Amino acid sequence: MQIEDVKASIGREAGVSEWLEVTQELIDEFASLTGDRQWIHVDPERARRESPFGATVAHGFLTVALLSRLVSQAVDLQIESKLRVNYGFNRLRFPAPVPAGARIRAHVTPNAVREVEGGVEIAWGVVVEVENQAKPALAAEWLLRIYF
């Protein structure tokens, strides 16, 4: 996609990523990396007994961390640039959990494109769906800055 294509598709879904399985191993690695070893993420037996979800669930921030991978699969930006920067989020919500072993994928929609000094900012609407689950795991507006 060129920047003109992004502008022309504002408000319409631009792409969908491949499915990605969120394994217990991935959850454990994220827990180790971040130090967030809360039992609901890393103790399958206790989660089976005590969690309202009946299983361990991924950290919300693990789902956020996977956005780079998922969005780049969904939208192939063919824009010559010096630098691309994650500028943050205007909105970020976790409506539903991602159980260990579930598969997720991202639906990506450009919400806006605006000029910034030296480049452009794209506001991506991103919804991460969980296979066979009604509510999404994540809904966000993610800001990407591209400098020329």
The domain spanning residue 127 has which CATH number?
3.10.129.10
d(CA 35, CA 87): 25
Domain tally, the chain: 1
Q: CB within 8 A of 94, min separation 6: which ones?
A: 60, 63, 137, 138
Domain contains 42 = no
- Which residue is listed with tokens 């990396």? 33
Which amino acid makes up residue 74?
A
> What band does 146 get if pLDDT is binned at 50, 70 and 90?
very high
Residue-wise pLDDT tens digits, 41-81: 999 999 999 999 999 999 999 999 999 999 999 999 999 99
Domain that holds residue 18: 3-22+67-147
d(CA 113, CA 33): 34
What pTM was estimated for this model as a whole? Answer: 0.94
| Contact yes or no for 81/147 (Cβ under 8 A) | yes
- Calculate the alpha carbon distances from 94 to 54, 59, 91 in Å: 18, 10, 10
Domain contains 44 = no
Q: What angle do CA 83, 88, 92 make, to 5 degrees?
A: 145
Residue-wise pLDDT tens digits, 1-54: 999 999 999 999 999 999 999 999 999 999 999 999 999 999 999 999 999 999
Domain contains 15 = yes
pLDDT at site 31: 98
pLDDT at site 77: 95
Domain contains 125 = yes
Residue-wise pLDDT tens digits, 76-117: 999 999 999 999 999 999 999 999 999 999 999 999 999 999
pLDDT at site 42: 98
pLDDT at site 76: 95
Widest Cα–Cα separation across the chain: 54
Interval 121-128 mean pLDDT: 98
pLDDT at site 15: 98
Domain contains 52 = no
Domain contains 43 = no
Domain contains 99 = yes
Domain contains 51 = no
